[in-house]
Structure 1
Amino acid sequence: MDDNGGHQPPGDEGAWNVASTAATALAFYRPRTLKNGSSFLVLDHSGDAQAAGATAEGLFHDDTRFLSRQSIRLAGLRPLLLSSAVSTDNTVLTVSLTNPDIPVGPDRKLVRDSIHVERQMVLGNGLLRERITLRNFSDAPLASELLLSYAADFADIFEVRGHQRARRGERRAPEVRSDGSLVLSYRGLDEVERRTRLRFEPPPEGVPGRDNRWRLDLAPGATRVIDIIITCESGPEAAEAHPPLGFDALLAGIRAWTATREAEQARVSSSNQAFNDWFARSEADLSMLTTETPVGPFPYAGIPWFSCPFGRHSLITAMQCLWADPAMARGVLRFHARAQATTLDPSRDAEPGKILHESRSGEMAALREVPFGRYYGSADATPLFVLLASQYADRTGDWRLVREIWPSIVAALRWIERHGDIDGDLLLEYDRQSANGLMNQGWRDSWDSVFHADGRLAEGPIALIEVQAYAEAAWRGAGRLARALGHENEAEVWTANADALRARVEEAFWCEELSTYAMALDGEKRPCRVRSSNAGHALLTGLACAERAQKIGEVLMAPGSFGGWGIRTVAEGEGRYNPMSYHNGSVWPHDNGLIALGMKRYDLRRPLERLLTGLYDSARALDMHRMPELFCGFPRRPGEAPTSYPVACLPQAWAAASVYAVLGAMLGVSFRPEEKAVRFMRPFLPSWLDELRISNLALGEARLDVRLRRHGPDGSVSLNLLRREGEMEVAVIT
């Protein structure tokens, strides 16, 4: 992700920070969010946007805010909030409101709680439908007025994040069309006209505009319904071929798609309701954040700052979910194969074979005011692409897809060899080419996230430890794929590359005095001797030998790194440690999920169980059991929840996917497609989980339902096969 905060860096090094202001800090009041396709909605608990001041609320589509304000007033006053919630499947926002005491004459008033106002909203791709239902619960006729107000600033998402532009396009006066619709429009500097079209059923009194009024005359028990249809439009205006879907039809379509996705995934339930709530929330968040592309499902990163395609984020999300949802990995691999760079373009940090970092579609991206229209400034996405491809083949045996994307796999490996290794020493380094691209190009991509023990920033080209781990696993995995496809020469060369890289990493990165790997090597090949979570990714891929893996696990779970909720990105006491920073001391759920999978690989049972318990306790303590992008790294204190990070994305896909990594680490799920078998390798259940049920676990066309039960203080499990369709064997390996 792009840097989200911290102290202000010098020069332009923090150019892509999300400004931590009152307008962008969403963590403290937990806004209501919906997403569909390239659209997302951020509202306050009353269902309004920016009704009480400047915030990052509104209706967004294609990285542009098409609705910057919406508010509801009853008799000129803001209604009182009764309740506000998004449905458990993330498809409907329902808000219940009522009237305050409202003077209606010298000696009369409308007594509070007389009128119930229900707002329901459903979001499609470029379409928002709202249904407002008003009912008189008093025993007397009531006369009042409903006011709905709207505005559209057409701000680019980077403007909402706090970036100032020297010039903007032209916002035009509201216009009422012949069909009665209200159009708010803006012609950008990119010569694209963007329009927000509002329709009201029934129409308001008088001419529709920014303020719209309905006279309410409600008999006792009477109900009034008002529907609002808001569409986001870009480019030349054309007559609509079909009217927008109705409220019920739109909702039914979204739920039908969700049901289709659920049928592709394994489902989980347990004896622990808090764990069930965490899993259900994560599952629903991933479903909402996943966009159906022409090549399959693809998880967008997070709301509000990163609701777009990201390279490493989608690859790691798919990796965490792979055991339960291989369809997501299939969609992610196909997407990145199509988006892979084919030319050299320093302005986009693009080189042939490189995998996409980020893709944006707003005005600022089109004008190259930001470099992220199609940007490739990522050192890790390319080896992660190859790594995921090999893991997908191991999981599914889907050699048809492997053959389909084989040219992209080969191109990615050529990039690793020719462009990723800048100085020919076997290690992958990065050094930005784009003048306004990202300074750091690993997953911790803040301007100050790579540094030496004394706090000095590392100068490039920089080689990160986790990127070497991904690359070693990519070479080794590609060697297995090549051998299976009959490419023996490539298999030998690529496996040899993996062996050589592993030896080089052990020689250059290991810090005996720290009992862990250096965070990185700088441009002079000097190690950044900092205890960081980066080293835990070497466990994920199997880079470390068993003895060093044990030492790394101990360092990661020492009090300086593990504060009780999770492992910090940087250990307490290091040069730039700050528990409130974006990348230098905070806790990231996905980072912890990957480390958990690494601990499982080396059978580090005790530290793994402590880590999983910390993550479970975090989810249990957080609002809606929803894992945010990150939270602050303060030590755990009795009776308190993790400390929120003010501009964290919420929800966010790889954070939501961490629960799948947690389960994968507990159960050691692995697959043998050639044997038509699934194995649970040294599974255990922690003390807070007595029973776990997995249904619809798929391998090819076969399906299994299993139940695992915990026995005794050691957490060992027994497995019962509940259902089997098709040919698939299941076994527990202890």
Structure 2
Amino acid sequence: MMDYRVIKEGDLFFLTGLNGDMAPGDDQGHGLYTKDTRFLSRMEAFIDGERPSLLSSAGDKSYIASFRLMKDSKDEGAIELHRERFIYGGILYERCTLTNYFIDARNVEFSVAFDADFQDMFLVRKYRTGDVGRMEEASAKDRELTLSYMGADSQRRKTRISWDAEGGKAHGSGTITFPMFLKPKEQRVVTFFIAPITEEHAEPEPLSYDEGLRKLEASYAQWYANSTRVKSDSAVFSGLFERGLQDLRMLTLDVGFGDTTVAGLPWFAVPFGRDSLITALFMLPVNPQLAKGTLKTLASNQGEKTDPWRDEQPGKIMHEIRYGELVTTGQSPFSPYYGTIDSTPLFLALIGEYYRWTGDLSLAGELKPNMLRALDYINAALEAGNGFMAYKQEAEKGFPNQGWKDSANSIIHEHGEYAESPIALSEVQGYVYQAKKSLVPVFADMGEHELARKLEEEAEELRARFEAAFWMEDQQCYAIALDKEQRQVRSVTSNPGHLLMSGLPEAGRAAAQSKRMLKDDMFSGYGIRTMSTGSTGYYPMSYHNGSVWPHDNGMILLGLGKQGFKEEAGKVISGLLKASEHFEYQRLPELFCGNDAGLGYPVPYPTTCSPQAWAAGTSIAFLQAMLGLYPDAPKKEIALSPFLPEGMNELKAERIAIGNGHLSVSVTRDAGGASFNVKVLENTTGYTLVG
């Protein structure tokens, strides 16, 4: 069970303890956040001056949280407080219902203490220090309290707290009190409306609690209606899939270019490069429009110049963007920050995969200048890296390692020394190969035949170089990386598993790589570890050197499915499904520890993000791998080669958007259990099914 409750809608999210409170000095980062700024740092409920005891706390719906608390006495009875909250239209709605369960009438004082420090997210996390602004005097009027701050960037930020109940009084301390007289079983309701306000946006006007909730729930219903519907006889898979789809709706954000996803809550509620791209890749079988919004969002922030402060280079796709005071005053390089080696090839690979799924050439036409600049950046990086795409930290406050395993100790030689940069990661070369290969039909269908031919040629040249440099014959798998001397970093890790998705490895080595990842030193029983138990640096509680990351397994699964390694794919799916049963609301976290499944439960990682976008999308990777579903719009074909993992006998996927139509299929295990029956329920794509 997570030790917090978090809800999010749009670019506003609210993080509290399990009792619904935020207490001053709790050091947990609790707060109401938007634009990487904490607009509420305290919200504590009291009954007669005392904090009520927690009875229950629920967050099973991603968009609403509820809390039941009570203040009891030695008498037979209690005052119950039921708190319910959601976010809609830039406003936090909180409904507080007090019920008298004593046998006699009671005078009760209900109060809520508020405060706001308007701290930058990086300061809250103690990730940075910096010069900041100052608080201004709070102002109060009838049913409204406003807290205000003037930033070091000369921007005024406010938090408006209003309420609908009569009799409430705001005090200079930030506490709002409501004296009540409650008869036995009588209820009183107080609803708060809390709105962050910046100079950039008009002040939002609240709806009623019920109307706001109705509109929010309608938006979720529309999300489900626009997504593929999935049913199975496995309650575990069905539950995980529904949880993932709900969480992905929660994590969507539109900054002006269509829906994309933030990376995760609570600390990464902003658009990312790598995270948002991989999530969109996972989402293709369920909602390909997310890829469109993600690509446009990232294209709008493509690198334009050489700027070591932000690790920016022309054509480069960003790592992440932040909006807080430290960024707006130039004290942090995240405006955006470009220190990632894989976002640019993944950007191009997603364009290619989006075209394979949709046949929509118009998006590629719109993004053609961005694609060409990204290719120029990649080609320059390949030339600088002696034929491989490598990274080296330039920004003083940036990241030393710039692949998805971006912790400082994640790239380690077999004798214990850390690899020195420039570092060429194995999976990144695969992404480059996939980007170039997948863009061949895109450019060919745009009439750019010479460029298409050149990309095909360059991809095959990269394949030959890679096979010669990265293969470890003794381990029967690829090395994680080459260091600055182009020596192999001979750790056995999960990174090369991503190569299967790219299609780079030759057939024999692809088969060997898939088998190597399922050996006991790599497969915990709950998933593929990030590092072998036999490699130097392995530690099951580490962030990147022995833990299990669901999205990492998801990327590997896409490749296992594509290459037809069904036995290995089934084993990975079964392990992660088994793990999911142990997490609250069956929500796969960002990562968990790599201890062996013989313990009987997965060991949680202490500071993991949950919900987290690419973890939420992993169950969709399960779906694609199980269906063996790989459309090819340029060829007007759909590869379909299903299997079902152990414990699942029926699977139905309805209205999968492919091309200009839909595909619906059902898969059942035959009576003998060794083969599968496939029934096409609908195919309005006009494409031929193969496989």
Query: The TM-score by the shorter chain falls in which range?
Result: over 0.9
Distance 1:680 1:287 in 2: 27
* 2:106 maps to 1:142: yes
| Residue number in structure 2 paired with 1:69 | 42
Deviation at 1:318, TM superposition (A): 0.8
Distance 1:556 1:236 in 2: 50
Percent identity (aligned): 37
Deviation at 1:97, TM superposition (A): 2.1
1:249 and 1:188, CA in 2 relative to 1: closer, same or farther beyond 3 A? same
Deviation at 1:538, TM superposition (A): 1.0
Which of 201, 216, 220 does residue 258 from structure 1 map onto? 220
1:118 and 1:486, CA in 2 relative to 1: closer, same or farther beyond 3 A? same
Unmatched runs of 5 consecutive residues or more in structure 2: none
Deviation at 1:365, TM superposition (A): 1.7
Q: Which moved more, 1:693-702 or 1:261-270?
A: 693-702
1:654 and 1:424, CA in 2 relative to 1: closer, same or farther beyond 3 A? closer
SS at match of 1:99: strand
Distance 1:678 1:138 in 2: 66
| Residue number in structure 2 paired with 1:540 | 501
1:538 and 1:705, CA in 2 relative to 1: closer, same or farther beyond 3 A? closer
Which of 244, 250, 275 does residue 206 from structure 2 map onto? 244
* 2:317 maps to 1:355: yes
| Residue number in structure 2 paired with 1:111 | 76
Deviation at 1:195, TM superposition (A): 1.2
Distance 1:386 1:675 in 2: 20
Distance 1:660 1:467 in 2: 23
* One-letter amino acid matched to 1:303: L
1:202 and 1:386, CA in 2 relative to 1: closer, same or farther beyond 3 A? same
Distance 1:78 1:672 in 2: 60
Which of 599, 615, 624 does residue 655 from structure 1 map onto? 615
After superposition, the CA RMSD in angstroms is 2.1
* One-letter amino acid matched to 1:188: G
Q: Which moved more, 1:377-386 or 1:698-707?
A: 698-707
SS at match of 1:130: strand
Q: How does 1:385-424 map to 2 (within 5 A)?
A: 385-418=347-380, 420-421=381-382, 423=384
| Residue number in structure 2 paired with 1:554 | 515
Distance 2:286 2:125 in 1: 35
* 2:159 maps to 1:196: yes
Deviation at 1:80, TM superposition (A): 2.6
Verify the 8 A CA contact 1:51 1:71 in the aligned structure 2.
no
Verify the 8 A CA contact 1:264 1:327 in the aligned structure 2.
no
| Residue number in structure 2 paired with 1:664 | 624
Which of 402, 416, 420 does residue 455 from structure 1 map onto? 416
1:674 and 1:435, CA in 2 relative to 1: closer, same or farther beyond 3 A? closer
Deviation at 1:423, TM superposition (A): 2.2
* 2:471 maps to 1:510: yes
Verify the 8 A CA contact 2:562 2:630 in the aligned structure 1.
no
Distance 1:192 1:541 in 2: 46
1:295 and 1:346, CA in 2 relative to 1: closer, same or farther beyond 3 A? same
| Residue number in structure 2 paired with 1:25 | none
Q: How does 1:266-285 map to 2 (within 5 A)?
A: 266-285=228-247
Verify the 8 A CA contact 1:563 1:634 in the aligned structure 2.
yes
Deviation at 1:273, TM superposition (A): 1.5
Verify the 8 A CA contact 1:56 1:160 in the aligned structure 2.
yes
Deviation at 1:100, TM superposition (A): 2.0
* One-letter amino acid matched to 2:84: Q
* 2:195 maps to 1:231: yes
* 2:91 maps to 1:98: no
Listed one character per residue, the Cα deviations across residues 536-592 of structure 1 (whole Å, up to 9, x for unaligned) are 011111111111112112221111111111111111122211111111111110000
Verify the 8 A CA contact 2:130 2:331 in the aligned structure 1.
no
Task: Calculate the TM-score normalised by the size of structure 1.
Answer: 0.90
Unmatched runs of 5 consecutive residues or more in structure 1: 1-27, 102-108
SS at match of 1:225: strand
Q: How does 1:289-688 map to 2 (within 5 A)?
A: 289-418=251-380, 420-421=381-382, 423=384, 425-638=386-599, 640-673=600-633, 678-681=638-641, 683-688=642-647
* One-letter amino acid matched to 1:143: N
Deviation at 1:29, TM superposition (A): 3.8
Q: Which moved more, 1:517-526 or 1:188-197?
A: 188-197
Verify the 8 A CA contact 2:571 2:645 in the aligned structure 1.
no
1:632 and 1:599, CA in 2 relative to 1: closer, same or farther beyond 3 A? same
SS at match of 2:369: helix
* One-letter amino acid matched to 1:174: A
Distance 2:90 2:353 in 1: 35
Which of 694, 698, 710 does residue 669 from structure 2 map onto? 710
Distance 2:414 2:646 in 1: 38
Listed one character per residue, the Cα deviations across residues 360-391 of structure 1 (whole Å, up to 9, x for unaligned) are 00111222332212111111000001111111
SS at match of 2:535: coil
Deviation at 1:718, TM superposition (A): 1.6
Distance 1:59 1:604 in 2: 46
Deviation at 1:274, TM superposition (A): 1.9
Distance 1:279 1:296 in 2: 24
Distance 1:116 1:314 in 2: 42
Distance 1:508 1:729 in 2: 39
Listed one character per residue, the Cα deviations across residues 427-470 of structure 1 (whole Å, up to 9, x for unaligned) are 10111222221111111011111121112111111110010000
Verify the 8 A CA contact 2:97 2:187 in the aligned structure 1.
yes
* One-letter amino acid matched to 2:626: M
Which of 32, 40, 49 does residue 59 from structure 1 map onto? 32
Distance 1:204 1:198 in 2: 15
Distance 2:449 2:354 in 1: 21
1:251 and 1:732, CA in 2 relative to 1: closer, same or farther beyond 3 A? farther
Verify the 8 A CA contact 1:628 1:655 in the aligned structure 2.
yes
Deviation at 1:722, TM superposition (A): 4.0
Deviation at 1:119, TM superposition (A): 1.0
Listed one character per residue, the Cα deviations across residues 469-519 of structure 1 (whole Å, up to 9, x for unaligned) are 000111111222111222111011111100110001111111112211111
